[in-house]
Amino acid sequence: MPVTSNASAQAAPAAASQRGRGALIGAGLLALALLPLVAGASPYMLGLLISALILAGLALSWALLGNLGGMVSFGHAAFFGVGAYGSALLAGKLGVPVLLAIPLGGLIATVFSLAMLPALRLSGPYFALAILAYAQIFRILATELDWLTGGAAGLQRYPGLPTVLGFNLADRAGSYVLVLACVVVFALVYMALRRSHVGTALRAIADSEDATRVVGVNATVLKTWMLLLSAFIAGVFGALNAHIIGFLEPDYAFSGIWSVMPIIAAVFGGYRSVLGPIFGAVVIYLFDQVIAKSLIPVGHQILLGIVLAIMVLLAPNGLSGLVARFLPRLAGRGLSNAEKGHA
């Protein structure tokens, strides 16, 4: 047994330094994320960053479902829109405090996702398109149920973000911090989940379903939890977005954009990692809004389509996969281990 004890003796400090490096990277990223506030970014730039972070949360939710649940969704707009309408209606019609209405909006999206449970037994493309169908149905329902949702004209009179302890969340800097905090919290939840035994089992289900079930794993239940969690996260960011922009209409809240952009962002950044989708969302959104739009005012999404196609063909593990492959020293053991999990 000398081999074993030797290996574990090496593994312990490596794991510790890995954790230390992880914390360092996390702190560095957080500092970088708060830089715009300190450096006094223009309101326009802050507005862009807020939208980018909303998209980051949505991309995180999409990637969680894809990576842990093994499901590709072409209809995340469904959860995003339901969360937005749920929160806006609770706050606007029932007077629920906004900061409570936002997580409740996420919960409502979760409840609506229960309607999608029958789709869980469908394989790949059938599941993807079934979710797309739900997104369309919800959009049409939001348009038709005008006594509740204001119909095609939409909702405008509902409260925005409040002031908490003298800190005005409704101004750009406040909104930025709030959305950033939500992204960080859900990223931490995702990381913890991925490291847990549940995460390990989910990783196994994707490629070896029978082998996993035969040792007692209930694949359906675990996938269900991932769908519910993904819906919750997407719903929360839909709700946040609703209170930040201050208006909702069905064609906006359930727009295909909210289904398409997270896919592009997550695939670009690497949907099998946690930071990939977040980083991908920021890069892709800023690229689209700042560069692509100025180059091609109408039809700028063609560039996103090209980026997506190139990534799938040349780097299917996204930027995080490239980083793990080409910067092994910088990334260290942590990322190379993570990449193993990705493959």
Partner 1 sequence: MTELILQALFSGVLIGSVYALVALGLALAFGAMRIINLAHGELVLLAAYMAYLVESRTGLDPYFAIPLALVVVAAASFVLFLLVDRIKDHRELNSLILTFAIGIILTNAILLVFASDVRTTASPFLQDAVSLGDLFAMRSEIIAFVLSLVLMGALWWWLKSSWYGRAVRAVSSNRGAAKLMGINPTRIETVSFLVAGALASFAGVALYTMSVVQPATGHALTVKAFIITVLAGVGSIPGVFLGAVLLGVTEALTVTLASSALQELAGMVLFLLVLFLMPNGLFGARARRG
Partner 2 sequence: MLELDAVTVRFGGLTALSGISFRIAQGEILGLVGPNGAGKTTLFNSISGLVKARGRISFNGREVTSLPLHKRARAGIGRTFQIPQPMHHLTVRENLAVAQVFGAGRYDEKRIDEILAVMELSHKADADAATALALQELKRLEIAKALATEPKLLLLDEVLAGLESNAKRSFMLKLKELHALFGLTIVIVEHDIETISGLCTRAVVLNFGQLIADGTPAEVFNNPAVVESYTGTAHA
Dihedral pair phi/psi, residue 168, rounded to 5°: -80, 105
State which of positions 2-21 bind partner 2 (CB under 8 A).
Answer: 3-4, 7, 11
Which partner from the list partner 2, partner 1, none does 32 bind, CB cut-off 5 to 8 Å by kind?
none
Q: How far is the CB of 341 from partner 2 (least distance, A)?
A: 6
Q: Which of 51, 212, 230, 273 binds partner 2 (CB under 8 A)?
A: 212
18 binds partner 1 (CB under 8 A): no
Q: Which of 127, 158, 176, 279 binds partner 1 (CB under 8 A)?
A: 127
Which partner from the list partner 2, partner 1, none does 316 bind, CB cut-off 5 to 8 Å by kind?
partner 1
Dihedral pair phi/psi, residue 308, rounded to 5°: -60, -45
If binding means CB under 8 A, how many residues of this protein chain bind partner 2? 25
When the beta carbons of 288 and 339 are compared against partner 2, the nearer one is 339
State which of positions 255-284 bind partner 1 (CB under 8 A).
Answer: 256, 260, 263-264, 267
Which partner from the list partner 1, partner 2, none does 125 bind, CB cut-off 5 to 8 Å by kind?
partner 1
Name which of 288, 297, 224 is nearest 68 in CA terms.
Answer: 224
DSSP 277-309: HHHHHHHHHHIIIIIIHHH-SSSTHHHHHHHHH
Select the span of 36-44, 51-59, 126-134, 155-163 touching partner 1 (CB under 8 A): 126-134
Name which of 316, 301, 238 is nearest 77 in CA terms.
Answer: 238
Name which of 130, 115, 121 is nearest 219 in CA terms.
Answer: 121
Q: How far is the CB of 277 from partner 2 (least distance, A)?
A: 20
Q: Which residues contact 26 (CB under 8 A, 6 or more apart)?
A: none
| 50, amino acid identity | I
Q: Is the dihedral of CA 164, 166, 169, 174 positive or negative?
A: negative
Select the span of 104-112, 118-126, 235-243, 273-281 touching partner 1 (CB under 8 A): 118-126
Q: How far is the CB of 246 from partner 1 (least distance, A)?
A: 26
Q: How far apart are CA 51 and CA 288, in angstroms?
A: 12
305 binds partner 1 (CB under 8 A): yes
329 binds partner 2 (CB under 8 A): no
Q: Which SS3 state, helix, strand or coil, does residue 218 take?
A: coil
197 binds partner 2 (CB under 8 A): yes
Do the beta carbons of residue 76 and residue 262 sit within 8 Å?
yes
R_g over Cα of the chain: 21
Q: How far apart are CA 33 and CA 180, in angstroms?
A: 8
In our burial notation (b when 16+ CB lie closer than 10 A, e otherwise), range 176-185 reads bbbbbebbbe
Site of tokens 């449970």: 117
Q: Which residues contact 179 (CB under 8 A, 6 or more apart)?
A: 50, 53, 54, 57, 237, 240, 244
Which partner from the list partner 2, partner 1, none does 329 bind, CB cut-off 5 to 8 Å by kind?
none
Select the span of 101-109, 130-138, 182-190, 235-243 touching partner 1 (CB under 8 A): 130-138
Q: How far is the CB of 324 from partner 1 (least distance, A)?
A: 15
Contacts with partner 2, residue ranges (CB under 8 A):
1, 3-4, 7, 11, 197, 200-201, 203-204, 207-208, 210-219, 340-341, 343
Contacts with partner 1, residue ranges (CB under 8 A):
66, 72, 74, 118-119, 121-130, 132-134, 136-137, 140, 143-144, 209, 256, 260, 263-264, 267, 296, 298-302, 304-306, 308-309, 312-313, 316
